[in-house]
């Protein structure tokens, strides 16, 4: 479900963009929205490098997961910097940012839970839960890109 939503996002954005352009309403410059632009946002390459790691590769997986966590921290830092310069009502921004922060807590918890996995039978499930948390965090950050900032 998450993967399908990720794929539908660009199509939905294009449809909204086309509808807005056709309505005669001014179209916002992408640089004037949230703060983590596509050039700065990581792709899922970091996740792709670790998503199939087996139990005996858990050290590699944990290092990769911590890199993902650091990437999310960088994204949050950029979003907070952007928030500090906002000149509009911040209610929508703050509401969307709450999801980013909750996703950060979830990712941290799932990474911490990896230490509790002591057998290969439970590894795939724990690994996949980290992946779900990572995807949720990236969807939340992507959602910030549609939030007005000026």
30 Cα distance to chain centroid: 18
Unique residue bearing structure tokens 């899922």: 44
- Compare 138 and 89 and report the one with higher pLDDT: 138
Half-sphere exposure of 135 (CA within 13 A, CB side): 15
SS3 for the chain is CHHHHHHHHHHHHHHHHHHHHHHCCCCCCHHHECCCCCCCCCCCHHHHCCCCCCHHHHHHHHHHHHHHHHHHHHHHHHHHHHHHCCCCCCHHHHHHHHHHHHHHHHHHHHHHHHHHCCCHHHHHHHHHHHHHHHHHHHHHHHHHCCCECC
Give yes or no for residue 112 having a pLDDT over 60: yes
This prediction's pTM: 0.69
Residue with more model confidence, 111 or 10: 111
Cα separation, 54 vs 23, in Å, equals 52
22 pLDDT exceeds 50? no
Percent above pLDDT 90 for the chain: 55
Domain residue limits, the chain: 30-144
């Amino acid at each position: 479900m998450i993967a399908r939503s990720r794929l539908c996002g660009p199509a939905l954005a294009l449809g909204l963009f086309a509808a807005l352009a056709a309505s005669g309403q001014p179209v916002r410059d992408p640089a004037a929205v949230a703060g983590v632009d596509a050039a700065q946002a990581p792709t899922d390459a970091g996740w792709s490098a670790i998503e199939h790691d087996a139990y005996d590769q858990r050290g590699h997986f944990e290092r990769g997961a911590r890199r993902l966590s650091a990437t999310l921290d960088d994204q949050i830092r950029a979003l907070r910097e952007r928030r500090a310069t906002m000149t509009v009502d911040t209610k929508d921004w703050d509401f969307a940012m709450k999801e980013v922060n909750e996703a950060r807590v979830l990712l941290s918890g799932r990474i911490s839970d990896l230490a509790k996995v002591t057998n290969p039978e439970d590894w795939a499930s724990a690994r996949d839960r980290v992946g779900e948390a990572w995807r949720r965090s990236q969807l939340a950050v992507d959602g910030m890109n549609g939030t007005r900032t000026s």
